[in-house]
Amino acid sequence: MTGEVFISGAKNSALSIIAAALLTDKPVVLENVPDVMDVRTMVKLIEYLGSQIKFKGDILRIWTPKIRRHVAPYDIVRKMRASYYVLGSLLGREKKARVSLPGGCAIGPRPVDLHIKGFKALGTLVEIKNGYIHADAKQLAGSVINLQGAKGTSVGATINVLLAAVKAPGVTEINSSACEPEVVDVAGFLQSLGADITGAGTSTITIRGSAELTGTVYRIIPDRIEAGTFAIAAAITGSKIAIRNCNPFHLAAVIDKLREIGVRVDVSRERIVVTGKSRLHPVDVFVAPYPGFPTDMQAQIMALLSVIPGTSTIKETIFENRFMQAMELTRMGADIKIEGDTALIRGVKTLSGAYVMASDLRASASLILAALVAKGKTVVRRIYHLDRGYEKFEKKLRRLGAKIRREKE
């Protein structure tokens, strides 16, 4: 494989920003929006709540002159965990919301306790009844909120509380806030609407609430996880791939780990060139909140480490069941042992093609990466997981020279 790949907009940013567009009754234009299933699901949800939508190419136009419903139903929310972002937006704009407890990938418990803690601090009465989160507030009020959880910060809780706090009179201070680029992107979007927010990207975000929000034209950041996945594709196949429309700063932990492995990575302003090498080294990977090594890249680097001589380890500190790809990789000949939150990986010379099954979004990418270097044919089933977060993934790989095609089951 060789060539150039253009990275789509960040799926995780797009989902929360689309939900955030409910906060204003003025038109919003979003650029660089990835056309993936999760985005389509979020668009369907806000349409159900009252938004008028036009989605063409990577441009999404949203206008919500009036919220027509305050209930986000199970049939939509069960398909994607990020649906719960409408909770913060509905609370901010309407002071009430009914949102089904979310679904998404089966990668372990992801409780909503920090979300509820934050909403209560803003003056909201929150109950969980019949599988729904019921949130009501006569009047939101700014507050000091600590979102430190048992496993560190929470991106979802930080964004959800931020959305509600924008409409809460007074000053809200979110301590132990997540620092991920997607949080900064949401704050940037809200600022473009007229919100008064400082500190995004640090552990403390300050919001001076109740500002009148306007419309905006806003460009979503590139998807760092898609960029990282193609970087792994170059490393595992020993190829040279130029990755365009990305922010290398957002990928610092992944780039550092690839260089430690022995992969050549050349960085410029919005471009990364990754050159795989024949002699690579085992490493230890510690998954942690940003700026640490991202949990959304753990499955992909496991595929790479499975064909690097020597013993590597991955310690997953965020999600309990996020080694689900390991069993499928072993079906392809990988030598992987799971001990609690740590994977022990002994690199093998070759992987073999096999029938495997994707369990979640990033696991599906991991199996495809492994298939690129496996001898023989690999068939990855339940590929709908991939479509939730990667835009035209197999087409982009095919342009780089991969022998890959999609078939109906």
The DSSP line for 226-288 is HHHHHHHHHHHHT-EEEEES--GGGGHHHHHHHHHHT-EEEE-SSEEEEE--SS----EEEB-
Q: Are residues 155 and 293 in the same domain?
A: no
Q: Are residues 158 and 253 in the same domain?
A: no
Q: Count how many domains the chain has.
A: 2
> What pLDDT sits at residue 109?
44
Positive or negative, the Cα torsion across 165, 166, 172, 175? positive
pLDDT along the chain (409 residues), means of 10: 97 98 98 97 97 98 97 88 91 95 51 89 94 93 93 91 97 97 98 98 96 95 98 98 98 98 96 95 97 96 98 91 92 97 97 96 96 98 94 98 92
Q: Are residues 163 and 81 in the same domain?
A: yes
Q: Are residues 25 and 82 in the same domain?
A: yes
Domain assignment present for residue 219? The answer is: no
> What pLDDT sits at residue 37?
96
> What pLDDT sits at residue 103?
52
Residue from 20, 39, 138 nearest 79 by CA: 39
337 backbone dihedrals φ, ψ, rounded to 5°: -120, 135
Q: Which of 17, 30, 105, 112 is catalytic?
A: 105
At 362-408, the pLDDT tens digits run: 999 999 999 999 999 999 999 999 999 999 999 999 999 999 999 98
> Looking at 154, 181, 211, which one is the last position of a domain?
211
DSSP letter assigned to residue 110:
-
CA-CA distance, 161 to 265, in Å (whole number)? 37
CA-CA distance, 188 to 201, in Å (whole number)? 11
CB atoms within 10 A of CB 180: 23
At 143-184, the pLDDT tens digits run: 999 999 877 889 999 999 999 999 999 999 999 999 999 999
Assign residue 22 the CATH number of its domain. 3.65.10.10
Q: Are residues 203 and 294 in the same domain?
A: no
Q: Are 133 and 99 in contact (CB under 8 A)?
A: yes
Q: Which run of H or of E encompasses 298?
A: helix 298-305
Q: Are residues 61 and 197 in the same domain?
A: yes
Domain assignment present for residue 405? The answer is: no
> What pLDDT sits at residue 4?
98
Domain assignment present for residue 409? The answer is: no
The DSSP line for 176-191 is T----HHHHHHHHHHH
The DSSP line for 308-376 is SSSEEEEE--S-TTTTHHHHHHHHTT-EEEEETTEEEEE--S--B--EEE--SHHHHHHHHHHHHHSBS
Domain that holds residue 338: 224-399
Q: Are residues 239 and 359 in the same domain?
A: yes
Report residue 372 as tokens: 């690129």
Domain assignment present for residue 175? The answer is: yes
> Looking at 211, 244, 272, which one is the last position of a domain?
211
179 is catalytic: no
Q: What is the pTM of this model?
A: 0.95
Q: Are residues 205 and 346 in the same domain?
A: no
Q: Are 172 and 186 in contact (CB under 8 A)?
A: no
> Looking at 211, 243, 277, which one is the last position of a domain?
211
CA atoms within 13 A on the CB side of 43: 20
Domain assignment present for residue 404? The answer is: no
Q: Are residues 169 and 268 in the same domain?
A: no
